[in-house]
């Protein structure tokens, strides 16, 4: 049986077949962008479980070879110059109740 790439969407616990690695990474990036819109101000915890697998088993694609996963990107830690309202002039960001800001991106797993 031929190997197929699958994108795992942890928000819906579903695997979607992808025609190529480029397509899988583009779809995963779109998924990250959709989850970014759900930040209030924190990311949904499951964003860290976005994965791309290569598998010959359409029933259990997550048992296949891990090809790409989501990683933290552009992490900004809470600085020491937070005022009483939660604003940091050095970062020009409002931290309020959060300890850091972070974004995510896909990374191909090196084998």
Angle 99-104-108 from CA coordinates, rounded to 5°: 140
Ranges of each domain in the chain = 4-73
Which residues have CB under 8 Å from 82's CB, separation 6+?
A: 88, 95
Cβ neighbours around 63 below 10 Å, total: 10
- Which pTM value belongs to this model? 0.82
**pLDDT tens, position by position, 62-74:** 999 999 999 999 8
Residue 56: pLDDT band by 50, 70, 90 thresholds? very high
């Amino acid at each position: 049986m031929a190997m197929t790439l699958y994108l795992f969407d942890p928000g819906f616990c579903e695997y979607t077949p992808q025609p190529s690695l480029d397509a899988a990474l583009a779809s995963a990036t779109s998924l990250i962008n959709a989850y970014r819109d759900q930040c209030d101000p924190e990311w949904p915890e499951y964003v860290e479980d976005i994965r791309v697998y290569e598998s010959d088993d359409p029933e259990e694609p997550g048992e296949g070879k891990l090809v790409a996963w989501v990683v933290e990107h552009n992490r900004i830690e809470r600085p020491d110059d937070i005022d009483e309202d939660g604003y940091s002039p050095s970062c020009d960001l409002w931290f309020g109740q959060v300890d850091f800001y972070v974004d995510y991106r896909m990374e191909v797993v090196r084998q």
